[in-house]
Structure 1
């Protein structure tokens, strides 16, 4: 009897451990599904995009462990920062220099990939961790079936960005940040399956994307860092075109010292018309907007656990 009880306890412990490690994932397999996930319907599920991969204590920005830590709490996409090494590998690093986020010093571009892999990453408080600098290839491979990566514009040539996504057939789980319609057109001409996080902060910018012939089905709009009444007509025009809108709280509301004020700001962003929030505080922002998720949504099919 004692042996049976012990075996049952071990089995239950293993089950609980497995559940604890489950990740919230986005079930998106290809570009068409990504476009459907991002299409504004009016009954969408608001969600979080982790700025720099999410910036949470103990988990360095732009690292796969940081992505996984966020996904243990909430489904999310991740904005990440590709940079070139001395030997033309692509790694994830926000700054052009190593000092703030690693145990190294100097420019990323002065080191080979092998040299950078010897360094350790620091978390948001400057604590050295056991984690290493990932390559973009490692991130793309890891992300498939779990989340969507959004590549910010740093020092990687457009051609290299287009090639690595196409080579990996990753159009369904890797998006490209574009600042102008001209940039979007360059990518779209090379691969009609690319999907963009596009800077659309004004009616004039919106008109430029239409003039360039970029399908709105391929665009999620970044409208700026401030939640302000002036955005309402822009939301309306973009939503009519089926476009979701995003506010980044990283340079604004994430920096507020008061947690209650941050929560109120995150909630107001969704209530006032944005569909998603790009936040450093990815887990905190997700918790704040949890009660704003509609009881029923056709988008539920894209959310799951793994």
Structure 2
């Protein structure tokens, strides 16, 4: 099947009216008040629709995944305000990190320690949720913001009808608590769980067979090893690593009906800064369906230059 790299017209209109400069701090969506000004929503209402959305077809819509939520100056990683900022520019998959407090509350936090991203110090696991709520988040430059550490539940509720999530589960967090939160908030349709081994994928699939999984598959051998797990391809998004893969390998995954996620965060993002953002389009043209990036606004703006056309997937995008 010949690959077609398509976008939908309304996205072009949205991008055309936006600059690539991140929003100023005061322009963030007022999440708690319910004020909604963005049109870049992804609306997937059931697990069946999620599977359909992530099933590769020749009219698939290339997208970005905002690593750690897509932090920019004034917008710290793993905060709901930051998610809303990125969604104001582009439909996105939000990648977030979940850790657990001393008293068992699931919060969004990448590091084991509070020091880098908050005004606190010490291990997340040594702090209670009440203590963490006294802290403020810091952006990538170390500037203190007005934003608080959100809970996983708050992120799940916010994302409904707005963005898809991929959930990076920190080692200290029991899978049972993640699955419980997803089910209690009825978020099965839009929360995919990230795994780093086939054993972890098998365990999560056995515990929650309805959920989509992000599974690392980087070569033909790993395709074969994945098939030995018995997990249906309809439950999988393939993370192909942080190095560009051959077009033939991406095609092999597409033949399974699987979306690919290429991690451009790090070296490939730096290459785009040095060589120009159109580098992102070359990744898509070689079969990367989702670009996991630290520069989601810039990467999405580059991708939108690909030829637009109608897509069966466009029904999941709310204008």
User: Under a length normalisation based on structure 2, what TM-score does the superposition of the two structures give?
Assistant: 0.85
1:102 and 2:111 are equivalent in the alignment = no
Query: Among 287, 290, 294, which residue is 2:304 paired with?
Result: 290
SS class of match (2:239): strand
Query: How far is the alpha carbon of 1:189 from its aligned partner?
Result: 1.7
Query: Among 175, 192, 199, which residue is 1:158 paired with?
Result: 175
CA distance in 1, matches of 2:289, 2:179: 27
Query: How far is the alpha carbon of 1:262 from its aligned partner?
Result: 4.6
CA distance in 2, matches of 1:108, 1:261: 39
CA distance in 2, matches of 1:259, 1:158: 37
Match of 1:263 in 2: 277
Whose helix fraction is larger, Structure 1's or Structure 2's?
1
CA deviation digits over 1:33-55, x for unaligned, max 9?
A: 11111111011111111000112
CA distance in 2, matches of 1:31, 1:303: 16
Query: How far is the alpha carbon of 1:169 from its aligned partner?
Result: 2.0
Q: Is the 8 A contact 1:35 1:218 kept in 2?
A: yes
> CA separation of 1:293/1:164 partners in 2, compared to 1, >3 Å: closer, same or farther?
farther
CA deviation digits over 1:115-144, x for unaligned, max 9?
A: 001111111221110000000011011111
CA distance in 1, matches of 2:289, 2:144: 35
CA distance in 2, matches of 1:90, 1:19: 26
Gaps (5+ residues) in structure 2? 1-33
Match of 2:255 in 1: 240
User: Under a length normalisation based on structure 1, what TM-score does the superposition of the two structures give?
Assistant: 0.89
Match of 1:276 in 2: 290
Match of 2:15 in 1: none
1:249 and 2:238 are equivalent in the alignment = no
Match of 2:41 in 1: 25
Query: How far is the alpha carbon of 1:237 from its aligned partner?
Result: 1.4
SS class of match (1:242): coil
Query: Among 56, 61, 65, which residue is 1:40 paired with?
Result: 56
Comparing 67-76 with 54-63, greater Cα deviation is found at: 54-63
1:194 and 2:211 are equivalent in the alignment = yes
How many residue pairs end up in the alignment? 285
Whichever of the two has the greater Rg, that structure is 1
CA distance in 1, matches of 2:270, 2:121: 26
Match of 2:198 in 1: 181
CA distance in 2, matches of 1:141, 1:98: 24
Gaps (5+ residues) in structure 1? 1-17
Q: Is the 8 A contact 1:79 1:152 kept in 2?
A: yes
What RMSD in Å do the two structures reach over aligned CA positions? 1.8
CA distance in 1, matches of 2:184, 2:225: 29
> CA separation of 1:144/1:181 partners in 2, compared to 1, >3 Å: closer, same or farther?
same
Match of 1:218 in 2: 235
CA distance in 2, matches of 1:135, 1:168: 12
CA distance in 2, matches of 1:198, 1:265: 25
CA deviation digits over 1:184-224, x for unaligned, max 9?
A: 22122222211011111122221122111111111110001
CA distance in 1, matches of 2:64, 2:270: 17
Q: Is the 8 A contact 1:45 1:293 kept in 2?
A: no
SS class of match (2:292): strand
Query: Among 168, 177, 180, which residue is 2:185 paired with?
Result: 168
Query: How far is the alpha carbon of 1:168 from its aligned partner?
Result: 2.1
CA distance in 2, matches of 1:20, 1:185: 39
